[in-house]
Amino acid sequence: MQYETVIGLEVHVQLHTRSKMFCGCPADYQAAEPNTRTCPVCLGLPGALPVINRRAVEYTVLTGLALNCRIPEFTKFDRKNYPYPDLMKGYQISQYDLPLALDGFLEIDGDTQLGLGRRRIGVERVHLEEDVAKLQHFPGEGYSLVDVNRSGVPLMEVVSKPDMRSAEEARQYLTLLHSIVQYLGVSTGNMQDGNFRCDANVSIRPVGSQILGTRTEVKNMNSFRAVYQALEYEVVRQREVIEDGGAVVQETRGWIEEREVTVSQRSKEYAHDYRYFPEPDLPPLRIGPERVAELAAELPEFAPQRSARFQADLALSGYDADLLAGSRSMANYFETTLTLAATAKEVANWMLGDLARLLNQDHREIDASPVTPQRLADLLALVADGTLSTSLAKTVLEEMYATGGEPADIVREQGLGQISDTGAIEAAVAEAIAANPKAVADYISGKDTAARFLMGQVMRLTKGQAQPELALRLVQEGLELQKTRGSLEP
Amino acid sequence: MDCAITLNAIAGYDSRDSTSLNLPSTDFTAGLTGDIKGVRIGIPREYFVEGMEPGVRSAVETAIKELEGLGASVEPVSLPTTEYALACYYIIAPSECSANLARYDGVKFGYSYQDTPDMWKAMETTRQLGFGPEVKRRIMLGTYALSAGYYDAYYLKAQQVRTLIRQDFDRVFEQVDALVTPTSPVVAFPLGEKMADPLQMYLIDVCTLPINIAGLPAMSVPCGFSEGLPVGMQLIGPHLSEERLLNMAYAYEQATEWHKARPGI
């Protein structure tokens, strides 16, 4: 029996706003001491009232537009009621039946292994809500701790249609969604930090069936890789259950990273009745078509389009173009450097090679690079005009990265300019020839490669600064002179 | 006058309250001329209910005559949705409060029952011991009215009826400038007398609840006594008509002495 996998994803994206969703507390809680980013509103103290964060609404509309959604003119917030110690008010302000965006899609390449090509994965809706506090448990100790800093941080939820047919397609969808929210700048989208959380709904059914099988909800996947592995595992598990004659239980299952399995957490048929009703403390919002048009005009060129443009206009390879277009900051850095009169291939090589290496060592993003586009362009100019050899330039780059200095200054201070003064090199050539009689003899007896060896010696003597082509030529001239002399000697 | 002064002090935009209107401020004392000639008053017949105490009825009717004497014109009007306001309110308000009161779980503030290692037991007992019977009653009513399968029939329906109630008032205010009704169909009852019958107690609100539902400005003005206990007349106006209402009350006060009298108890 052949089974088809059906996957839907719910992604919660923490929005990168300055303040929380319904109060003025700073939204950057990651580095703060527990319970230092709070106020009566996000603490849920009696009498405190919510006020909508405009930027969060704009970010959500932008995301909806980027996902090809319809932005309804009328939208509102609702209360989702349930008790839990991390939910300060005993209800979460969310959106139920009139979300900010509806009926969108993302185009993925498709799982070619399944014979599926490029197609649309439906986005059911995008809505806005507030995050809950963070609990820290101490099993066996008899207490848990509540850190309210995260309570009230804006959370955007993107719900897909169950259109994905494999873990691979889920990976493609997630990667693209991640790239989009990053590109928009609405979120840093960091799964490890908890700003990009993914829950999956998985079921299987016989190929050709139109009826959905019983689904399980899979949670606790904290990386893209975990999502992939968890989905692969769950599909196999469900198939085995059915083939053993059983039925899949509708439940929530948690992914256990260390054991690489999903484990039942609670029965989903106990679905909470959230008693949704419109939030009486907040007026509904009217987002007119004019405002939507304004926001649509703010949409940037996204990664796939940017990469395609790099390939078409700048003749970059697909691989390089994808990497450079991969993040908005990378792509911007690249394009800025290009405007400072550098060539695409050069910049690409340096950015993806040495600069990337330095940044990765430090776990730094390109935004935090001490080597600015201007400085990189200046460095490349020095290579282009012959002042620096490529290998010397690499040294200078390291210094620029370490000190944040200008390439011209570093070259001057360290006397690193390429020596193209013939006289200076000739002195080194003479020294090299005098110190390496065997090499000279080899050359005279016909071993041309000895010239290269001597050139290497000249480079060493000039601390790598001799212009390589010139050094080689002078070495060859010097050796020829030796040859002639030798033949003249008795 | 006192009301006007107080309103001056408390009225205004609050940026931390999303339901607060952002309007230029008004001096509510400035319009207190005492002149209400030409003001059109409507008397909604649905507010003069069958169970109304005769002493209350006569005090209010006398007050209306007084207003007429001061130059206002009086006409009967009808607000047919009035009878639904009570039910409407007692679905919406408990529903909202069932959510508003959810935060009282003893975890972050207030009374907290700690004598158990079980978190849920602690929360439940905190609320069991911390809330009084009327509050519990309303929480249960509200939770029920919002639950799956009942939301449409109760909460949603009540909100829709609320719109109809507001529309009734809008329509009437095209004819008249203000409405006069009793504030309550009965005078104050002794403390504890109605505890066994909450529904009886809720019925007392029948004149003031529609105002809440419709979100209209209203004020109660002392207008007499019945069996030694004070009687109030309620003035209701359309949205943002506080100045006119205050002036009506001011005019009435200038012509009568009720606001200075004390109950004979």
Q: What is the pLDDT of residues A208-246, one digit of tens each?
A: 899 999 999 999 999 999 999 999 999 999 999 999 999
For residues A271 and A25, give the distance between their C-alpha atoms in angstroms, rounded to a whole number. Answer: 33
Q: How far is CA A169 from the centre of its chain?
A: 18
The per-residue pLDDT of chain A, averaged, comes to 90
Q: Which pLDDT band, with edges at 50, 70 and 90, does A269 fall under?
A: very low
3-state secondary structure of A466: strand
**Other residues' Cβ atoms within 10 Å of the Cβ of residue B240:** 12
**B103 and A44: CB-CB below 8 Å?**
yes
Q: Which pLDDT band, with edges at 50, 70 and 90, does A416 fall under?
A: confident
Which of B146, B162, B163 has the most A C-beta neighbours within 10 Å, making it the best mutation to test the interface with A?
Answer: B146
For B130-147, what is the mean pLDDT? 96
Q: Which residue of B has its CA nearest to A24?
A: B16
Give me the pLDDT at residue A52, please: 97
Q: Is B124 on the interface with A (CB under 8 A)?
A: no
Listed residue (A48, A67, A188, A180) closest to A127, CA to CA: A67
**How many angstroms separate the first and last alpha carbons of chain B?**
27
For residues A28 and A56, give the distance between their C-alpha atoms in angstroms, rounded to a whole number. Answer: 14
Q: Which residue has the higher pLDDT, B31 or A131?
A: A131
Cβ-nearest to A280 among B96, B103, B146: B96
Give me the pLDDT at residue A489, please: 53
Complex ipTM value: 0.92
For A125-152, what is the mean pLDDT? 94
Residue type, A385: D
Cβ atoms of B199 and B139 within 8 Å: the answer is no
Q: How far is CA A487 from the centre of its chain?
A: 66
Which of A275, A276, A281 has the most B C-beta neighbours within 10 Å, making it the best mutation to test the interface with B?
Answer: A275
**B102 and A88: CB-CB below 8 Å?**
no
Tens digit of each residue's pLDDT (9 = 90 or more) over B33-82: 999 999 999 999 999 977 788 999 999 999 999 999 999 999 999 999 99
Q: Compute φ and ψ for B176, nearest 5 degrees.
A: -130, 165
- H-type helices in chain B, by residue range? 2-10, 54-69, 82-100, 119-130, 133-146, 157-172, 198-203, 209-214, 242-255
The per-residue pLDDT of chain B, averaged, comes to 92
Cβ atoms of A53 and A267 within 8 Å: the answer is no
Tell me the shortest Cα–Cα distance from B4 to chain A, in angstroms: 25
Sorted by sequence, the CB contacts under 8 Å of residue A376 that are 6+ apart come out as A337, A342, A347, A350, A351, A355
What would the two tokens of residue A59 be? Answer: 């970010």
Listed residue (A14, A274, A67) closest to A177, CA to CA: A67
Q: Which residue of B has its CA nearest to A86?
A: B107
Cβ-nearest to B103 among A88, A280, A282: A88
Give yes or no for residue A200 having a pLDDT over 60: yes
Cβ atoms of B154 and B145 within 8 Å: the answer is yes
Q: Which pLDDT band, with edges at 50, 70 and 90, does A268 fall under?
A: very low
Tens digit of each residue's pLDDT (9 = 90 or more) over A4-37: 999 999 999 999 999 999 999 999 998 899 999 9
Q: How far is CA B49 from the centre of its chain?
A: 17
For A302-328, what is the mean pLDDT? 89
Sorted by sequence, the CB contacts under 8 Å of residue B230 that are 6+ apart come out as B187, B188, B222, B224, B261, B263
Q: Of A12-21, A52-61, A396-405, B70-79, where does mean pLDDT reach its minimum?
A: A396-405
Q: Which residue of B has its CA nearest to A85?
A: B107
**B99 and A90: CB-CB below 8 Å?**
yes
Q: Which pLDDT band, with edges at 50, 70 and 90, does A488 fall under?
A: low
For B5-11, what is the mean pLDDT? 92
Q: How far is CA B231 from the centre of its chain?
A: 16
Give yes or no for residue A303 having a pLDDT over 50: yes
**A51 and B15: CB-CB below 8 Å?**
yes
- H-type helices in A189-281, by residue range? 224-243
> Taking the model in full, what pTM does it have?
0.82
Q: In chain A, positions 251-280, which contact chain B (CB-CB < 8 Å)?
A: 273, 275-277, 280
Listed residue (A346, A328, A338) closest to A385, CA to CA: A346
Q: Which residue has the tokens 């909100």?
A: B159
**B18 and A281: CB-CB below 8 Å?**
yes
For A292-311, what is the mean pLDDT? 90
* Beta pairing, strands A216-221 & A251-256: parallel
Give me the pLDDT at residue A415, please: 72
3-state secondary structure of A212: coil
Q: Please report, rounded to a whole number, the percentage of residues in chain B having pLDDT higher than 90.
A: 81
Angle between helices A318-325 and A328-339 (to 10 degrees): 110
Most confident region among A424-428, A470-474, B225-229 by mean pLDDT: B225-229
Q: Which pLDDT band, with edges at 50, 70 and 90, does B215 fall under?
A: very high
3-state secondary structure of A196: strand
Give yes or no for residue A417 having a pLDDT over 80: no
User: In degrees to the nearest 10, what's the CA dihedral of A185, A187, A189, A193?
Assistant: 140
**B102 and A90: CB-CB below 8 Å?**
yes
Give me the pLDDT at residue A270, please: 53
3-state secondary structure of A211: coil
Q: Which residue of B has its CA nearest to A47?
A: B100
Give yes or no for residue A421 having a pLDDT over 80: no
Q: Which residue has the tokens 């949705």?
A: B81
DSSP H or E stretch at residue A101 = strand A101-108
Cβ atoms of A251 and A278 within 8 Å: the answer is no
Tell me the shortest Cα–Cα distance from A143 to chain B, in angstroms: 9
Q: Which residue has the higher pLDDT, B222 or A472?
A: B222
For residues A181 and A13, give the distance between their C-alpha atoms in angstroms, rounded to a whole number. Answer: 8
**A89 and B18: CB-CB below 8 Å?**
no
**B17 and A49: CB-CB below 8 Å?**
yes
For B126-130, what is the mean pLDDT? 97
